[in-house]
Amino acid sequence: MCGIVGILSTTKKDTAVYIYDALTILQHRGQDAAGIVTSHKGRFYMRKSNGLVKNAFRTEHMTSLLGDMGIGHVRYPTAGTSSGAEAQPFYVNSPYGIAFAHNGNLTNTKELAQELFEQDLRHINTNSDSEILLNVFASELAKLQKQRINEQDVLDSVKQVHKRVRGAYATIGMIPGYGIFGFRDPNGIRPLILGKRTTNGGTKYMLASESVALTALGYEITQDIKPGEAVVIDRKGNIFIQQCAQNPKYSPCIFEFVYFARPDSVIDDISVYKTRLRMGERLAAKIYKEWGDEKIDVVIPIPDTSRVSALQLAHELEVKYSEGLIKNRYIARTFIMPGQKLRKKSVRQKLSAIGLEFKGKNVLLVDDSIVRGTTSQQIVKMARDAGANKVFFASAAPAVRHPNVYGIDMASNKEFIAHNKTTEEVCEAIGADKLIYQDLDDLIWCVQQGNKDIQEFDCSCFNGEYVTGDIDQQYLNDIEAARADSVKEKNNTNESSELICNDVE
């Protein structure tokens, strides 16, 4: 799960500055690496680096990113490694030169890599499925054997991509001298939205992962790119949108609404904020039904994602709401940190408890979800150390018991604290007095109220049902083995980094 953005201006040449601003707004979607590619007079200008957006780009980098169009990416590693070589956007010089940014995860990567080598005669230089997706698109465009392309050529190539590629992908690409384009997988698992901004100086167009990147920069939302659709915007500002998949089906990832997206975003016409309000209402109803005889003195959210749900839950239960946990805003989101060691270390650094809100009270802690249990265990202990009488725990999402294969770092069910455990056993594992989960039917209802045209969501991490229909146990075993190798590599890297830091100190 990453953040992507593309901007084309019909007049201005300072696109990179606005891409930088958009990536900063989308920073919550990826903190491992950041990159920008712009185009000016038929040439690409690129800067990408590991780390946050503010650290990846300095003044000298920004002044060298020339052009009136460009694309950007913030990376959250789920496939491949965390090396700088796999930071995006990627680039191929044939045909025409294509820069490319991808959010999601492919599920037939091995087959595609073999096809590209044996049939398309294309070389893949990294372990990233994004590079594979780029080369599939580039190969299909090259088959046209045209000196100059038009919008239909791009759209026809996307049609062929949909026939060859499986999995989750929202993408933005750029062809120098021509324009930018974007497309979304036939299930619409990952989001992509289009907007425009008209000024006295001309019109700008933006494609982005979330609406907040558009609205924060003064863009008017035009539309969500629908599952299977592709959009092409040429240098003159002409927009072409076409359905390119044979059997598209709206099946967006429900975890976007639980955790990843910002509450001020709207995805597929669904307000993330209103969804989380409804999650709080439904969870409160379940608590009232099952814990009606339990005295709760205060509801405390685990910042930041659970705040909206916790506030509404407290309102429904008529219980005091308090910000009893203070977050250090200079620590990254722990869920998307590479490596369990970093996650454990960062939880201790990220949060501190206000003793007055805990001492002698029955406290209900509310989190958006419980995945590995790392945060939950430490916060329950923190609450007890602060003097809480009882510590109850509520998850606004159901128990995570199955791997996510569509771009979220949940590759092995052995990492999940709820794996092969009952709710009571998870409660004991995190050290709480009581634990309650949102029901999946209630979660689906909460999201679906925003757009009743969407009849199905990808809920695979909760129910083990994969909307692409191509995931079997052997596939899950393979990604679990790959995950184990990746974790080992990351842990070795982290240990080396810690040794270097200790030596410096």
Catalytic positions: 2
Give the DSSP per-residue string, 451-485: -TT----B-HHHH---TTS---HHHHHHHHHHHHH
Cβ 244 vs Cβ 412: under 8 Å: no
Residue with tokens 């592709």: 230
Tokens of 349: 């650094």
Sequential DSSP letters for 359-420: TT-EEEEEES--SSSHHHHHHHHHHHHTT-SEEEEEESS----S-B-SSSSB--GGG-TTTT
Give the Cα separation of 434 and 54 in Å (integer): 41
Give the separation between CA 62 and CA 35, rounded to whole angstroms. 11
Radius of gyration of the chain (CA): 23
The CA distance from 486 to 204, in Å, is 40
Q: Of all helices (H) and strands (E), which one includes residue 448?
A: helix 440-448
Query: What DSSP string runs through 270-311?
Result: EEHHHHHHHHHHHHHHHHHHHSTT----EEEE-TTTTHHHHH
Taking the C-alpha atoms of residue 96 and residue 3, their distance in angstroms, rounded to an integer, is 25
Question: Is residue 228 within 8 Å of residue 244, measured between CB atoms?
Answer: yes
Helix axes 129-142, 151-164, angle to 10 degrees: 130
Q: Looking at residue 257, what DSSP letter applies?
A: I
Q: Could you give the CA distance from residue 284 to residue 312 in angstroms, rounded to a whole number?
A: 8
